[in-house]
Amino acid sequence: MSLGTVAVTGAAGNIGSVVREALRRDAARLILLDRVPLRPEAENEDVHTVDLRDPVAVEAALAGADSVLHLGGVPDEAPLDELLQANVLGTHNVLESARRTAIKRVVLAGSNRVTGFYPVAHLTGPREPARPDGLYGVSKVAVEALGQLYADKFGLSVICLRIGSFEHAPTEPRHLATWLSPRDAVGYIRAALTAPPSTRFAAAYAVSANTRRFWELPTPAVLDYTPVDDAELHAGNIPGADLPADPAAPQAGAYALPEFTLRHLRP
């Protein structure tokens, strides 16, 4: 199935690099955006060096796209002003450009960290109230809210993927619940890009089929993809994997510790 013309922000990042290679075969054209220079690697690639905080540059780069996969932004805890500029304002500029240029579908890179304070024993679904584990999580709550706003008010079709721990292989005990393999990441993204146009807004956890996961998998009615990888197959290589998890501990693990955020606050 041809994906038409797909724009990818943050195309030089960890996920962007994997997705770029995978979607190259299915898209008639790939428009690749990042703040670091990129080189085209195929005839159907167009590359743009763009700061997502610049609305005029974003709109110009997205011209002609049928859909946008928005991966760009600060990927972890940082001072709030940096997160607001890169993640919230950057997302607003992408959504506003999509509205102005009549792009049909926007897929937003959300994060599992919007619900990091739910306990490990709780199977968390996307309709539950946000419980962000830090300032980064707060910025991703705002990203989802912007997506919902543009879907409700302007009729965009927006799907927000709450991305798990994207790694080539799990490396720590928490990953046994939160791992998202590259293969499953591509599967979720393809499903989000090709979901029916009638999908106005949806949020879904993008996580592999981990035996120990504590997030709900999306139903086919929301996102027609079934993950295939399980972090449990790597448990023998992870120190501490045999220790029982504290059911009352936050799903975010160390991200929920005060120290994780305190270093980004004004002393």
Long-range contact set of residues 224-229: C-beta below 8 Å, sequence gap at least 24: 224/191, 224/195, 225/184, 225/187, 225/188, 225/190, 225/191, 227/181, 227/184, 227/187, 227/188, 228/183, 228/184, 228/187, 229/179, 229/181, 229/183, 229/184
pTM exceeding the 0.95 threshold for the entire prediction: yes
- State residue 140's pLDDT score: 98
Q: What is the tally of structural domains in the chain?
A: 1
The whole domain housing 233 covers 5-262
- State residue 1's pLDDT score: 61
Among residues 136, 188, 225, 255, the one annotated as catalytic is 136
Q: Is residue 137 part of a domain?
A: yes
pLDDT string in tens for the chain (267-residue length): 679 999 999 999 999 999 999 999 999 999 999 999 999 999 999 999 999 999 999 999 999 999 999 999 999 999 999 999 999 999 999 999 999 999 999 999 999 999 999 999 999 999 999 999 999 999 999 999 999 999 999 999 999 999 999 999 999 999 999 999 999 999 999 999 999 999 999 999 999 999 999 999 999 999 999 999 999 999 999 999 999 999 999 999 999 999 999 999 998
Domain with residue 198: its CATH number is 3.40.50.720
Q: Is residue 58 part of a domain?
A: yes
Q: Is residue 267 part of a domain?
A: no
136 is catalytic: yes
Q: Is residue 213 part of a domain?
A: yes
Q: Is residue 133 part of a domain?
A: yes
Q: Is residue 9 part of a domain?
A: yes
Q: How many helices (H) and strands (E) does the chain have?
A: 8, 9
Q: Is residue 245 part of a domain?
A: yes
Q: Is residue 79 part of a domain?
A: yes
